[in-house]
Amino acid sequence: MENRIAALQNHYIICGYGRVGQQMCLELMQENRPFVVIDNDPERTEALRNAGRLFIQGDASNDAILRQAGIMHAQGLLTAVASDAANVYVTLSARALNPDLFIVARATTVEAGHKLTMAGASRVVSPYILGGRRMISLALRPAVMDFLDVVMHSADVELWIEEVKISETSSLAGVSVGEADLRARTGINILAIRHADGKLTVNPHTETVMQAGDTLIVLGVQEELRYLRQPQSAIADVVEQSQD
């Protein structure tokens, strides 16, 4: 197991294998993304062993444990350990070891959310706030929520929502949405663009120019979107060939 963990690249580190951690594992498995779990509870680690999951038994705020989990070349870290204070310590340790890591932390209170942000969390999630919002959304807009559940979480439906960051070498850099015409050429729809400066453009016009550093939020079938997960987008090659 140590060798398998050491070989991981661009993986996710899940801190805590409680109810939230278990659900995160299921979601990552559905997405076919590599991950390793850190938990210091012997019963939970035994359950992980029986399930054939990669895990490390120990304190997720310990630098040596985080290094063993491959934090220096991980894609992201998600922490949902026992308490808000523990999540703050995990976040502080992870951010100090890898300044560029994407960190998602669970908070049970608004105050804890502020502290996690100060500690270096990229995003903070409160299950109680999310649960309340979702219940209201289901009551007011059930069809919309059903649609989002299908495209975000169902493995049985072709449609999928994905994001892809435009690199400096991508043929999409400097090209307008109209010129790229991804819908006609690949069947993929651009829902929004998160620009490098943080601004979000929803339902971009054909004149909107995509730049290196922008992140596209797209909708398409899984087979087409699989290309977007590659370092150099195959869709960019399609655009370049069509322009030639």
Q: What is the pLDDT of residues 76-93, one digit of tens each?
A: 999 999 899 999 999 999
| Percent of the chain whose pLDDT exceeds 90 | 64
- Position with higher pLDDT, 124 vs 198: 124
- Position with higher pLDDT, 152 vs 81: 81
Give residue limits of the domains in the chain: 2-125, 158-243
Task: State how far the Cα of 106 lies from the Cα of 179, in Å rounded to an integer.
Answer: 41
Measure Cα distances from 146 to 143, 155, 184, 201, 220 in Å: 5, 14, 27, 24, 17
Mean pLDDT value of segment 120-138: 91
Over residues 189-208, the pLDDT tens digits come to 899 999 989 899 999 999 99
Spell 120-155 as b/e; 16+ CB within 10 A means b. Answer: bbeebbbeeeeeeeeeeeeeeeeeeeeeeeeeeeee
Q: Does domain 158-243 have CATH number 3.30.70.1450?
A: yes
**Residue that the structure tokens 């502080």 belong to:** 92
| Strand-pair category, 35-39 with 175-176 | unpaired
Long-range contacts for 25-30 (Cβ within 8 Å, ≥24 apart)? 25/53, 27/153, 30/153, 30/155
The pLDDT of residue 233 is above 50: no
What pLDDT sits at residue 234? Answer: 46
Over residues 2-46, the pLDDT tens digits come to 999 999 999 999 999 999 999 999 999 988 899 999 999 999 999
Please state, rounded to an integer, the average pLDDT across all residues of the chain. Answer: 88
Q: Does domain 2-125 have CATH number 3.40.50.720?
A: yes
Task: List the alpha helices (DSSP H) in the chain.
Answer: 2-6, 19-30, 42-51, 63-68, 84-97, 110-119, 127-140, 142-153, 177-180, 182-186, 222-225, 234-243
Task: State how far the Cα of 32 lies from the Cα of 217, in Å rounded to an integer.
Answer: 20
Structure tokens at 106: 């669970």
Task: State how far the Cα of 76 lies from the Cα of 31, in Å rounded to an integer.
Answer: 14
Task: State how far the Cα of 192 lies from the Cα of 215, in Å rounded to an integer.
Answer: 9
What is the DSSP annotation of 55-80? EEES-TT-HHHHHHTTGGG-SEEEE-
Rounded to 5°, angle at Cα 153 from 152 and 158:
75
